[in-house]
Amino acid sequence: METTLRGVGVSHGVAIGEVRHMGTAVLEPPAKQIPAEDAEREQQRARKAVEAVAADLMARGNLAGGEAQAVLEAQAMMAQDPELMADVERRITVGSTAERAVYDAFAAYRALLAGAGEYLAGRVADLDDVRNRIVARLLGVPMPGVPDSDEPYVLIARDLAPADTALLDPTLVLGFVTEEGGPTSHSAILARALGVPAVVALPGAGELPEGTVVAVDGSTGEIFVNPGEEKKARLAAEAAERKAALAAATGPGATSDGHKVPLLANIGGPADVPAAVEAGAEGVGLFRTEFLFLDDSENAPSEEKQVTAYRQVLEAFPEGRVVVRVLDAGADKPLDFLTPGDEPNPALGVRGLRTLLDHPDVLRTQLTALAKAAEGLPVYLEVMAPMVADRADAKAFADACREAGLRAKFGAMVEIPSAALRARSVLQEVEFLSLGTNDLAQYTFAADRQVGAVSRLQDPWQPALLDLVALSAEAAKAEGKSCGVCGEAASDPLLACVLTGLGVTSLSMGAASLPYVRATLAKFTLAQCERAAAAARAADSAEEARTAAQAVLSGE
């Protein structure tokens, strides 16, 4: 019997295949005491297991490259956290086995993360994966992970750790569905980078029997269980139509009546550039420079190292636009030399620009490196600050840019509702705005971007979020300045049309989404996009907003 389930679609495309479940999590090790004379041996076992898991995560990162590499390297650092290791060794000293000590130490740290605010709570899935890998190695059992299969399948999991998502084989894993997660979780972002259809936040997904045939629509979030031949044929036809439209859509982003909407790429470093260039990105709308800093949490990268990395990216887009976000440290990206370790709620504390203003030497070095990297290049460099709250923040950043001799446009990210509400004030100090819709939604709705239970409030179709986008775009237009979107909202082709209708002047997304957005924008006029935007804002829920916009654009 055919049934339909609905989660949150996070990666475009359709996958039809049999269900395979993620390998079961590692069982809890028994709590047995060891003799005191065995403590040193157990501590050595624990250290070796930790180092092996960290090395494996680094190796997986090197294979995956791009954003996945940065995520996995962060996990490796998590495995080697000196405080965690000290706690493990302390527990072994008082009689725990190595595997039990690891299990209990990680459980204690997990509880701290879960209660430490939105961003750090979102790293719990990553921490659990590290724990499971270490315990599995100590117990001598298979690592948790994707199932072995010679035939293509649809993967079902409670959640997917970055280490699993990063190395999914798209020829075998047709798509995946998770019970937890959100549209901006690491797994969702990596799924889009891989081009694997994915749906998250689907309660009960784990109850689908092994071998059940499902059709996964990563655009709508629908899961069709036991689809009939007619449904399969319709989905296949729609997928073929999308593929043809993608192949036909080339060149700069624009509506069907010629209104230009530059389509830019979100990148984490030089490794992400080839995919962006291949997808036809007109530049970079978000260069996340923090990945350079996460290589060593105790020391900032040298000016020379930064110059090299920045220049590699700038050279890839001659006469293109490259928007660089200065270091966004804090919250889920703590750095020992910058961020305090005792904040009760890091996501609401000293993060982003606040951190940099507290450490002006770090900001000055980064801005100087950017200035040197751009010397002699025809690229249009723009530099923006994360977590700008008001005009005073914007002024402090612009002043720092000028003092560093940076010849570039200075901008502010709109991630805090106050910046959207007072956008005209902020624009007195900077030359452009860039909307980070992931954090803007998080702070608008008090909804952790990593928690599946509140994913409906992270939906970028929420009318309240669209109102804040409209306010920012209207302010920029009134000031004769630009206002782009660099959050994951831009990767939704239908929503991209609505954002264009709201007055957004550029859209930036993961490279894999660029062809979808380009093809969809080219179908509609600016006036149609404006009518769709008005209909979406008039709705009372995200689902109603999406339906209303779809109705306008489909001519219903």
When mean pLDDT is compared over 23-32, 119-128, 134-143, 514-523, the highest value belongs to: 514-523
Per-residue model confidence (pLDDT) at position 413: 98
pTM above 0.85, yes or no: no
Per-residue model confidence (pLDDT) at position 24: 63
The per-residue pLDDT for range 120-147, each reduced to its tens digit, is: 455 667 778 888 889 988 888 766 677 7
Helices marked H in 213-342: 229-248, 273-278, 290-293, 303-315
Per-residue model confidence (pLDDT) at position 450: 58
Question: What's the average model confidence in pLDDT over 201-213?
Answer: 90
Answer with the residue of higher pLDDT: 235 or 190: 235
Number of H helices and E strands in the chain, helices first, is 24, 16
d(CA 189, CA 417): 24
Per-residue model confidence (pLDDT) at position 237: 87
The per-residue pLDDT for range 367-405, each reduced to its tens digit, is: 999 999 999 999 999 999 999 999 999 999 999 999 999
- Model confidence at 69: pLDDT above 70: yes
- Model confidence at 25: pLDDT above 70: no
Question: What percent of the chain clears pLDDT 90, i.e. is strictly above it?
Answer: 55
- Model confidence at 498: pLDDT above 90: yes
Mean pLDDT of the chain: 87
Per-residue model confidence (pLDDT) at position 118: 45
* ∠ CA 71-76-77, rounded to 5°: 95
Per-residue model confidence (pLDDT) at position 386: 96
The per-residue pLDDT for range 327-337, each reduced to its tens digit, is: 998 665 666 76
pLDDT band at 296 (very low <50, low <70, confident <90, very high): low
Q: 201 and 7 in contact (C-beta within 8 Å)?
A: yes
Helices marked H in 206-359: 229-248, 273-278, 290-293, 303-315, 353-358
pLDDT band at 44 (very low <50, low <70, confident <90, very high): very high
DSSP of 360-407: HHHHHHHHHHHHHHHTT---EEEEEESS--SHHHHHHHHHHHHHTT--
pLDDT band at 295 (very low <50, low <70, confident <90, very high): low
Question: What's the average model confidence in pLDDT over 280-287?
Answer: 95
Cite the active site residues.
Answer: 186, 486
- Model confidence at 116: pLDDT above 60: no
Per-residue model confidence (pLDDT) at position 119: 45
Nearest-10 crossing angle of helices 66-79, 186-194: 150
